[in-house]
Structure 1
């Protein structure tokens, strides 16, 4: 369940190009950081391009991805590792491995990997010499990537890249907003809500109740879709009974006026 209103980086049709440039600038800045910058960039790109939740991305392993050298790839999401605190886990770890939110135990969700994301992950595998069972985004000391690490990196990037006014705004303030940006982009470009819900791991009612106000720029296209089907025959409308407008009724054959 969301505890805040989605504030994606992409906030409207007019600002999409600008906001895409802003997102790119944030990822480029993170990529320039020493040691783990390339890995964190790939982590954030997975949220931005594939709409994974952060807890799903940290649990993603190389064997869960199909990554061609070019074109679209595929991510098979079947595990989430949210942070619950050491006191709430049996083994004293910060993360707890769980099945996917809203899914049956052992269920898998297949998500398309945008060509740009497939290329980023393909490069990461080669650069870090990852094998099938390895995590894509391990922490510096191994194990799962800590939320404090990626949240701190995201905040530093926003501080470095954004203006003071942009930094103070809620747009893109949370790492989770990268997922919101992805889902909003899919919806705004005509992907059916049922398909978006399947990729995102939401139900359709939850998806629409959460993102309905984020959908923009489709009014003209939707009007064009219904303009023809709702159009009446070209016959002129004439006043009907009690002043209503209705098409003239055809006369029965052979009847006089």
Structure 2
């Protein structure tokens, strides 16, 4: 289904013979489009989104993402004249509750981040090359796609003091079957931003030093990118995920593993934003640097904001007692 039936680029050739039996079976057992207007059929379909292939419950965010994709598909079907209106409109169905808030137990503190980054640098192979990569995710709260796309022209790295990264987009893995030019990767604009939008992010001296050291050691790719794999291609998520897993094994104690501390590289971004908030940085400035709306920041980092408010309240009380 993924490699042929759903891929328009693959329709120029016949499906491989070994797939044909499965495709014929799917065609025989697929429901007529008209039945998708039946509420009970839709509920069964949405209920199926709540399960993984092995029957286990899917994550709530995964269910919501898949439901949104189904709704988008129905919207296209309405546009093409298959339905008068989106069949999901008015359907009484409730998916699993999504917890948007970042769990503080999973977010490493600055000392733990320092241990993890040191462990990355000490790893053989690609560890030293990814040291500054993960540093960008923490000290600049960058998304992985933004770090992969980072180019020397976007960096201001003075010999002392703070620097600046002028972020302009991100690299995502789409697969050669799903791109117009057959490339594996696509360059997208910044998340929820116009095509040519930029986001300047001030970076502390520690990250400036990390990036300057990275450039001295590994150089820059012909297209200006700071981070590439050994073959000269964009860094793959599975590759840096493996490195991160090894660094966790080396740096974290048993109880930290139990709490799934920094389980994903993306938790470095959460750690960076939460550190800004704990340091007293204005939430609006945190949201701007992170490339989020203030509404998203308040929804995801509510517990950290509560701690920042308590700190602010203590400062006010101390000032009134002087």
| Structure 1 position 183, deviation (Å) | 0.6
Q: Which moved more, 1:130-139 or 1:113-122?
A: 130-139
| Structure 1 position 129, deviation (Å) | 2.9
Indicate whether 1:225 and 2:321 are aligned. no
Aligned-residue Cα RMSD (Å) equals 2.5
| Structure 1 position 94, deviation (Å) | 3.4
- Secondary structure of the 1:75 match is strand
| Structure 1 position 24, deviation (Å) | 1.5
Paired position in structure 2 for 1:252 = none
- Secondary structure of the 1:151 match is helix
Paired position in structure 2 for 1:91 = 181
Where does 1:1-257 land on structure 2 (aligned, <5 Å)?
Answer: 3=61, 5-7=101-103, 19-130=109-220, 133-215=223-305, 216=307, 218-225=309-316
In 2, Cα distance between the equivalents of 1:159 and 1:23? 14
In 1, Cα distance between the equivalents of 2:247 and 2:182? 31
Structure 2 unaligned regions, length at least 5? 1-59, 62-99
Decide which structure has the larger Cα Rg and report it. 1
- Secondary structure of the 2:186 match is coil
Choose between structure 1 and 2 for higher RCO, CA contacts under 8 A separated by at least 6 residues.
1
Q: Deviations over 1:76-131 (max 9, x none)?
A: 10011122333322233332210001211101000011110000001111112337
Cα contact 2:101–2:303 (8 A) shared by 1: no
In 1, Cα distance between the equivalents of 2:151 and 2:311? 42
Cα contact 1:125–1:131 (8 A) shared by 2: no
| Structure 1 position 38, deviation (Å) | 1.8
Q: TM-score, normalised by structure 2?
A: 0.63
Q: TM-score, normalised by structure 1?
A: 0.78
Cα contact 1:7–1:180 (8 A) shared by 2: no
Higher helix residue share: 2
- Secondary structure of the 1:81 match is strand
| Structure 1 position 132, deviation (Å) | 8.3
